[in-house]
Amino acid sequence: MLRIRFVAAAIAAVAATLMACQGSPGPTGPEGPPGQQGATGAAGAQGPAGPTGATGAAGADGQLRIYGDGSGGSLTISASTNWSVTPPAQQNFQFSDLTINSGFTLTVASGTVIRVNGPFVNNGTITVSTYEAGGTIDIGTAAVEATTRPGGQGIARSLPGFGERNSGAGTAEQFGAGGLGVGNQVAGGHIVNPGPKGGSGGAGCLTGTTGTTPSNGGDGGGTLVILAAGTLTNAGIINANGVTVTASGAGGGGGGVVILASKTSVTNTGTINALGGAGALSGISNGPGGGGGGGIIQLIGPTVSAGATFVTAGAAGVAGAAGSITGTGSRQGGAGGGGSGGDGGRGGSITTANSPSTASAGSPGISLTRTIDPTALF
């Protein structure tokens, strides 16, 4: 036992000596490089939902752009009115409701868009002004001095052609081709925002005893778009027709475009016309003109009662006796009719014996009924 105590005392004495001899701590060494990142721990449980935020400010109603804001007020037309000369104040065509009374005519410029955020009713007559001019041709005293001005093309795919021209007898003069229309109902259905350009103008011709008098083609029918958030009713007449020409040899104008669209319903118990204009008869120095193609009518709404819609083509000009042209007299084939929804008709040729051949009528246009909400189309 005494021996163990002696050993323990000796160890303690050595330890005390070592501690007394240890120096002060040295400076901290530089930090070692970071170790590799450990694996991501499992996601914790989702916390409770926060309180609902305040309601944001209401955005502008996109339908105001389509059906208008009604700032033109409530309007009843009880006297014949010409908006193509005297439009509503500030040219504001946005009404809360609009009625045209029976027995009165509202004339509008081509390209007019009427927006009504309530009901629209037509019991009278709406006449759409023409837009695309017919073509013309003029000459001096020689064939090389001929000057042409094509008509406006409108929605057609091509312009109508002038007939061949020559001085004196002995050669045949070929007809002018009709303008090509939009092609088919699918293409016609895409035309909902036509702008002012409707039917194409017909081509012109030269007429008179010397074959040097200009004969202008018929103007093309104009366009009208009516958009109503409420019910849209036509119990009257709407006309957007191409012009029938009377000066010999010229082509008729293509029919116009009428679009009636309602978010509620479209009801037509009246008549809607987009007719092609007829071509002119032959003269003593020219063949007859071709008829204009029929126009486009679209009625669009969740429910539609189409009623009477007419997109009839213009008739061909009549081929009569042409007379005898000799010496330096000019002769010319008949001009083509303007296209629209349908094609324009070709003119009539002149034979070597100065006899005119028949022209052709235009082709019918396109009339569509679409039972859908039209809002997104505009």
Q: Token match 């003029």: residue? A: 138
Q: Total domain count for the chain?
A: 1
Nearest to 247 by CA among 91, 136, 167: 136
349 near 177, Cβ under 8 Å? no
% the chain with pLDDT above 70:
81
d(CA 206, CA 197): 26
Is residue 280 within 8 A of residue 350, CB to CB? The reply is: no
The tens digit of pLDDT for each residue in 231-279 reads 999 999 999 999 999 889 999 999 999 999 999 999 999 999 999 999 9
- Given CA atoms 258, 159, 173, 250 in this order, what sign does their dihedral have? positive
Positive or negative, the CA dihedral 32, 36, 37, 42 is: negative
347 within domain boundaries: yes
Quote the mean pLDDT of the chain: 87
Domain assignment present for 29:
no
In a domain, 79, yes or no: no
| Residue 300, domain member (yes or no) | yes
pLDDT at res. 356? 87
Question: Per-residue pLDDT averaged across 59-83, rounded?
Answer: 88
Strands 237-239, 213-215: pairing is unpaired
331-362 residue pLDDT tens:
889 999 999 999 999 999 988 777 889 999 99
Domain membership of residue 316 as a residue range: 92-378
In a domain, 10, yes or no: no
Q: Is residue 312 part of a domain?
A: yes
Domain-embedded: residue 134:
yes
Do the domain assignments include residue 374? yes
